Amino acid sequence: MSAGLPLPREWIVPDWTVPANVRALSTTRRGGFSLPPYDDGEGGGGMNLGLHVGDQAEHVLRNRAYLQDRLPGRPAWLEQVHGANVVMATGDAQSNVPRADASIAAAAGGVCAILTADCLPVLFCDSRGTVVGAAHGGWRGLAAAVLGNTVDAMRKQGAQDIQAWLGPAIGPTRFEVGEEVVQAFVEIDPGLRAAFMPVPAKQGKYLADIYRLARVLLLATGVERVSGGRSCTVEDRSRFYSYRRDGVTGRMASLIWLE
């Protein structure tokens, strides 16, 4: 994967075909140092990477150091606000964590990083291996065009023939939302209503397919090759943190970079 230490077998390597200089991974809740309720759920330490969720900072920083030892540089952590702002990941030391929900890198050294625990992490690269990106796809960010903004930012750096990988997120049988969420997407594209199934006996409630929403929104930006999108963070307790399931919980990271 990189010049660093080998990756733990518990982590996920995206199942896509990319240029040889593109590297990516998604951590799970396993194999870290955090204690309950941020543990691995099976009596071991948890790989919580979020400093904002109530975990002991020393444990999170130890987890982040463990991750960084397996990367070519410092992850460009973001203050994610469910928006659509995109910044450049350069690999430089961060004096201030930017408020953004996506980052891109156009040179080696920049490691794009997104934290999630049900929201959708989306990783991007172009066919020439010149630009990569990562976006945090909560429903608000998706509706605000975070995916399109990321693609636009990559293209401004010369990216062509962009593809995407959808990381672990809440699955289509678990993501219950209200009518306001449906309307937010129908206003973007009436065809997106097909991504919402009414919940029987619950007036005004729907099950949202966040993977389907992302695929349609990506297609609208011209991104046709999309991989991943087969996990459910809520149902797979042994591998994933889930805010919807547990409330107080950790955060996983999805990362991509150029070598």
The CATH code of the domain that includes 118 is 3.60.140.10
218 domain-assigned: no
pLDDT tens for each residue of 103-145: 999 999 999 999 999 999 999 999 999 999 999 999 999 999 9
Distance from C-alpha of 164 to C-alpha of 225, rounded to nearest angstrom: 6
Q: Count H helices, E strands: the chain?
A: 6, 15
211 domain-assigned: no
6 domain-assigned: no
203 domain-assigned: no
- Walk across the sheet containing 176-178 and list its strands: 176-178, 205-208, 196-198
Tokens standing for 243? 């805010």
Q: Would the pLDDT of 95 be above 90?
A: no
235 domain-assigned: yes
219 domain-assigned: no
Distance from C-alpha of 73 to C-alpha of 248, rounded to nearest angstrom: 30
For the residues 157-168, what does the mean pLDDT come to?
A: 97
Counted domains in the chain:
1
φ and ψ at residue 228, rounded to 5 degrees: 80, -155
DSSP label at 51? Answer: T
DSSP per residue over 149-196, as a string?
HHHHHHHHTT--SEEEEE-S---TTT-EEEHHHHHHHHTT-GGGGGGE
pLDDT tens for each residue of 178-226: 999 999 999 999 999 999 999 998 999 999 999 999 999 999 999 999 9
96 domain-assigned: yes
9 domain-assigned: no
Domain that holds residue 132: 22-169+226-258
